[in-house]
Chain A
Amino acid sequence: MKKSLVLFLVLVLVMTMFVGCNSEPVNEEGNGENEEPNGEEEQSEEDELKVVTYNIQSDPRSVDPALSSTTNENTLIVQLFEGLTRQGPGGVLPGIAEEWTVDEETNTYTFKLRDAKFSNGDPITAEDFVYSWKRVLDPRTGSEYAYMLYYIKGGAALNQIDISQDDSDAKIEEALEEVQVKAVDEKTLEVTLENLTPYFLGLVSFPTYHPVNSNIVEADIEWGSKEESIISNGPFKMEEWKHGEKITVVKNEQYWDSENVNLDKIEFLMVEQGSTELTMWETGQLDITSQNIPVTELERLEEEGVLKKQAVIATRFISINTQRAPLDDARVRNALSMALDRESIVKNVIKAGSSPSTGYVPTGMIDDGRDFRDVGGVLIEENVEKAQELLAEAGYPDGAGFSGFEVMVSSNEKTKAIVDACVEMWKQNLNITNIDIRTVESKVASERRKSYDFDMTFSGWYGDYLDPMTFLELATSKSGQNSMQYNNEDYDKLIEEANSSVDENLRMEKMHEAEAILMADMPLIPINVEGVSYLESERVTGVYRNILNLVDFKWADIQ
């Protein structure tokens, strides 16, 4: 008995040791909304603060606007930073720029900056923008979205310099001078574009165009990952970054419009499991969910009247490696496209406010007062018989002799059900049974896509700005996003002509023509226009969302 006592005591000692080691402060308030969801406030100071909790699902690597690449990162960056303009209720609003003028002859924009400061008090000057934009275009920065700045004259030339060459540094210095953006004076920024770009004002609100503080950046290349060095100029500033757990931002008093910012604090949580996120929202631990709610719950949530939907400009499509047989035959690709029942997929599998695609460019973009998609008409046909005919024409009557292909699915993808559905449809309608669905771990999937080592993969594109070009340029032969290896001279030519058109109508015409060619070749098979669903607690109001899938808390408030 003595010995058992010893054992027990040892265990108790060990236990108390680790309880003491628990470095987490007893965090009664947790995340703004209580763990006891009956509305009781635990600490009196927290009573005064307006806090919103939002789920960004995972940890961003950095909040450096030049390095952003995911929607979640952008959501975070938009709270911390601000560009010349800001998208908000009403459209494109003045941001750091108070007003602007355009010289249509020379495609030159002149922005007049207001008196604004960074969160550390440094004034924001035109030179900051010049610095930041050139930095993005500098190939040595490694900005994934640098192509967003190709509209600036000299931008593409700079960014496309091959830095593995020995003389690259010299070339870069030269090219930097050639980029047509300059600070006329402290508060005046002048930029000349390659072509007339009607959506430029919207573009400059995008994170890649945000200004960064040159002193901070030059001091530490990893400034964007460190809590202390993240100096920003937006409605909020970084307070605390607990990796893997949460990011806390607080109201930025130095922000030029801080009097219109109502929230005191936003907590960005990192919950990956969809079902957990949902339960947290339902029990009050989370105010606003990500767009990752389990598809299975959407119907129920809709019936309960709590589900919120947002139309976005995004197309989900099947990306086909056009160099791989038997998919290198356009007839085969068209047959695959025609054999799909998109309506059924949308209604039963995807749900979430989406609609079947009738073309590659989704709905939501303006063409002379009408929707671009309407003007373009229905470019996608669904006809099982015709599909079978095409397949036979290509040499595989009733699927005979078809050598099959492999669909590469990333293991972290939520689209598995859609893949299953499509493959099954091809089996049923075209009698193609040798389609292999291979789940591959996500890093491996990225590598293979990069090196064009795949037959088919399911993909999609969210528009970066409100113009069809954001979709169409993906299929040009020089696009870094063109994993289909699609190379059509006519298509490239039309896109180039569209980009250099001064006449808006001509530009639209060219884009329509290009899309028609694309849909005849089908290097990518559009499935549906995406919609997003999310949940928002009733106590939060004023969250701005738009068709670009932006989520902005600047004007948000708590009742």
Chain B
Amino acid sequence: MDDLNFKFVEREEKAKNVLVRPSVSFWKDSWQRLKRHRMGMLGFIIVIIMVFFAILGPMIIDKSYSDQDLDSAYSPPNSEYLMGADNLGRDVFVRIAYGARISLGVGFVATVISLIIGVLYGTIAGYYGGVTGEIMMRIIDILNSVPSMLYVILLMTILKPGLTNVFIVLGITGWLEMARLVRGEVITLKEREFVMAARISGVKSFKIMIKHLIPNAMGSIIVAITIGIPGAIFLESFLSFMGLGVSSPMASWGSMASEGIDAFRSHPNLLFFPAVFISITILGFNFLGDGLRDSLDPRMRR
């Protein structure tokens, strides 16, 4: 080759030709994309605010959710009772704050339970595939054929109405979608090179699942969580409406809303505030979920 056609490139020149964008990790990139996604950020902010409200609210408020003052029953919103008082003179705002713990708690705990069950189930089904996988998926199909609410009601009747049981029941009935989703991801992932490499190197299956498959499916899992939480919150309010939710005097947003329906005409604040909080929270999670889905989706990298 002719020396004239090639020139030795100095390092500085090389540096100039480097791509403008520095390489970033998957997570950092997703976070940046999320920040640009308006809806997603709005959802994120709402969720953060609600979580802080749930944790800190009851701590800084003096009163308890069961403190009653019968003479102030049904007070409309005023300086003393920010959102009014309920039928026993309990402060609605205080009960909303405590209710946030219950409703969000139900959302999180139920989703975490279904997460654990669903992720494990889906990973195993996807990884092993074959007959085992088919059977496992058929089981999910069966369970999916029953409106889960029926089983929730049945189970709540067998167990006693109460908070822990709500967690358990919602968790048990909610893992199906998660399992299905994770299985789909795992099926795709297990054909990837790094998984094959791990297998060839003799890494134990279990380790592969824990260290490689699940972390890589994390994106979809996170999105599923953010969609699952509003579902759980909604189910909890539905259960409370049927009288199968939390016990008095504890309040969840759902139980407050269902009591508020009867009071709607004369004292709309009793329905309005819990309904608004439920709606905004669900909305926040939905927006966040949308935002996360868009930002974690590798196909949409620009």
Tell me the chain B residues, 155-194 only, with Cβ under 8 Å from chain A: 157, 160-162
Is the pair A294, B263 in contact by a Cβ cutoff of 8 Å? yes
| Residues on the B chain within 8 Å of A416, using CB | 248
Could you say which of B88, B157, B264 has the most chain A C-beta atoms within 10 Å of its C-beta?
A: B88
> Contacts A424-B66, A424-B68, A437-B249 given: A417-B243 contact, CB under 8 Å?
no
- Given contact pairs A275-B262, A348-B89, A419 touches B248 in the complex (Cβ within 8 A): yes
Contact of A478 with B by CB under 8 A = no
In the complex, how many angstroms separate the beta carbon of B216 from the nearest chain A beta carbon? 37
Is the C-beta of B73 less than 8 angstroms from some C-beta in chain A? yes
* Residue B71 is within 8 A (CB to CB) of chain A in the complex: yes
Which of B87, B244, B264 sits near A275, CB closer than 8 Å? B264
Tell me if A3 is interfacial: C-beta within 8 Å of chain B.
Answer: no
Judging by beta carbons under 8 Å apart, are A421 and B262 in contact? no
Report the Cα distance A344→B87, complex, angstroms.
Answer: 12
Q: Which of A413-469 contact B (CB under 8 A)?
A: 416-417, 419-421, 423-424, 427, 437-441, 444
**B279 at the A/B interface (Cβ < 8 Å)?**
no
CB atoms of A423 and B263 under 8 A apart:
no
A439/B265 in contact, CB under 8 A: no
- Chain A proximity of B91: nearest CB distance (Å): 13
| Contacting pair A348 B71 (CB below 8 A) | yes
What is the CB-to-nearest-CB distance from A273 to chain B, in angstroms, rounded to a whole number?
A: 8
Contact at A437–B87, with CB atoms within 8 Å?
no
B249 A420 Cβ-Cβ under 8 A: yes
Q: State A275–B262 Cα separation when bound (angstroms).
A: 5
Residue of A nearest to B260 (CB): A296
Pick the residue among A297, A341, A438, A440 that contacts B263 (CB under 8 A): A297
**Bound-complex Cα distance A381 to B264 (A):** 37
Asked if B247 CB lies within 8 Å of chain A CBs, one says yes
B261 adjacent to chain A (CB < 8 Å):
yes
A529 → chain B, closest Cβ, in Å? 18
Does A517 count as interface, using CB distance less than 8 angstroms? no
Q: How far is the CA of A437 from the CA of B65 in the complex (A)?
A: 15
Residues in B264-280 with C-beta less than 8 Å from chain A: 264-267, 270
On chain A, the residues within 8 Å of B70 by CB distance are 341, 344-345, 347-349, 421
Residues on B with beta carbons closer than 8 Å to the beta carbon of A300: 265-266
Q: How far is the CA of A126 from the CA of B157 in the complex (A)?
A: 49
Answer whether residue A412 sits at the interface, using C-beta atoms and an 8 A cutoff: yes
Measured between beta carbons, the chain B residues less than 8 angstroms from A299 are 74, 266
A395 and B68 CA atoms in complex are apart in Å by: 28
A409 beta carbon closer than 8 Å to chain B: yes
- Interface size, A (range): 20 to 34
State the main secondary structure of chain A at its contact with B: helix
List B contacts of A344 (CB < 8 A): 70-71
Asked whether, in the complex, the Cβ of B88 is within 8 Å of the Cβ of A412, the reply is no
**Which size class do B's interface residues fall under?**
20 to 34
Complex-state Cα separation, A294 to B260, whole angstroms = 10
Q: Determine which of A274, A278, A417 lies in contact with B87 in the assembled complex, contact meaning CB atoms within 8 Å.
A: A417
Query: Which B residues from 216 to 268 make CB contacts under 8 A with A?
Result: 243-244, 247-249, 261-267
Residues of A within 8 A of B270 (CB): 296
A419 CB to nearest B CB, Å: 7
B161 touching A441, Cβ below 8 Å = yes
- Determine whether the beta carbon of A423 is less than 8 Å from that of B87: no
Q: How far is the CB of A275 from chain B (nearest CB, A)?
A: 5
Inter-chain contacts of A438 with B (CB < 8 A):
160, 162, 247
Given known contacts A439-B247, A440-B161, is B262 in contact with A274 (CB within 8 Å)?
Answer: yes
Central interface residue in A278, A300, A419, A421, by most chain B CB within 10 Å = A421
Q: Flag if B248 contacts A437 (CB, 8 Å).
A: yes
Q: B141 at interface (Cβ–Cβ under 8 A)? A: no
Q: How far is the CA of A553 from the CA of B263 in the complex (A)?
A: 31
Q: Are B74 and A420 in contact (CB under 8 A)?
A: no
Give residues of chain B (134-163) contacting chain A, Cβ–Cβ below 8 Å. Answer: 157, 160-162
Q: Which residues of B contact A421 (CB under 8 A)?
A: 68, 70, 88
Contact A349 B160 (CB under 8 A): no
Kindly state whether residue B67 has any CB partner on chain A within 8 Å.
Answer: yes
On whether the beta carbons of B87 and A296 are closer than 8 Å, the reply is yes
**Closest B-chain residue to A296, C-beta based?**
B263
CB distance from A306 to the nearest CB of B (A): 13
- Is A295's CB under 8 angstroms from B87's CB? yes
| Chain A residues within an 8 Å CB radius of B266 | 296-297, 299-300
Interface residue A411 (Cβ < 8 Å from any Cβ of B): yes
Interchain CA distance A423-B267 in the complex, whole Å: 25
Are the C-beta atoms of A440 and B160 separated by less than 8 Å?
A: yes
A437 to B262 CA separation, bound complex (whole angstroms)? 22
Give the CA-CA distance A340 to B230 in the complex, in Å. Answer: 41
Closest-CB distance, A348 to chain B (whole angstroms): 4
CB distance from B244 to the nearest CB of A (A): 7
Residue of B88, B243, B244, B247 touching A437 (CB-CB under 8 A): B247
Contact A420 B66 (CB under 8 A): yes
Contact B248 A349 (CB under 8 A): no
Chain A residues near B160 (CB-CB < 8 A):
438-441, 444
Evaluate contact between A296 and B66: CB separation under 8 angstroms.
no
Known: A348-B89, A349-B87. A296 touches B247 (CB 8 A): no
**Cα of A278 to Cα of B266 in the assembled complex, Å:** 12
A412 contacts across to B, CB distance below 8 A? 243
CA A333 to CA B161, docked complex, whole Å: 28
Q: Would A349 and B88 count as touching, CB distance under 8 A?
A: yes
CA of A278 to CA of B73, assembled, Å: 22
Contact with B along A165-181 (1 / 0, CB 8 A): 00000000000000000
Q: Mark A338-376, 1 if CB is under 8 A from B, else 0.
A: 000100110111000000000000000000000000000
CA A344 to CA B68, docked complex, whole Å: 11
Contacts of B265 in A (CB 8 A): 275, 278, 296-297, 300
A348 to B85, CA, bound (A): 12
Inter-subunit contact B71/A411 (CB<8 Å): no
Q: Report the bound CA distance from A427 to B88 in whole Å.
A: 15
Alpha-carbon separation in the docked complex, A274 to B266 (Å): 14
Q: For window 253-289 of chain A, which residues contact chain B by CB distance below 8 Å?
A: 274-275, 278
CA distance A275 to B259 in the complex (A): 10
Chain B residues numbered 68-83 whose CB sits less than 8 Å from any CB in chain A: 68, 70-71, 73-74
The 3 A-B residue pairs whose C-beta atoms are closest, nearest first, are: A296-B263, A294-B262, A348-B70
In addition to A296-B263, A409-B248, A441-B160, 11 A-B residue pairs with Cβ atoms within 8 Å of each other are A275-B265, A296-B262, A297-B263, A341-B70, A411-B161, A420-B88, A420-B249, A421-B68, A424-B66, A424-B88, A440-B160
A and B contact pairs by CB, cutoff 8 A, 22 listed: A274-B262, A275-B265, A278-B265, A294-B262, A296-B74, A296-B263, A297-B262, A299-B266, A300-B265, A344-B71, A347-B70, A411-B243, A417-B87, A417-B88, A420-B68, A424-B249, A437-B249, A439-B247, A440-B160, A440-B161, A441-B157, A441-B160
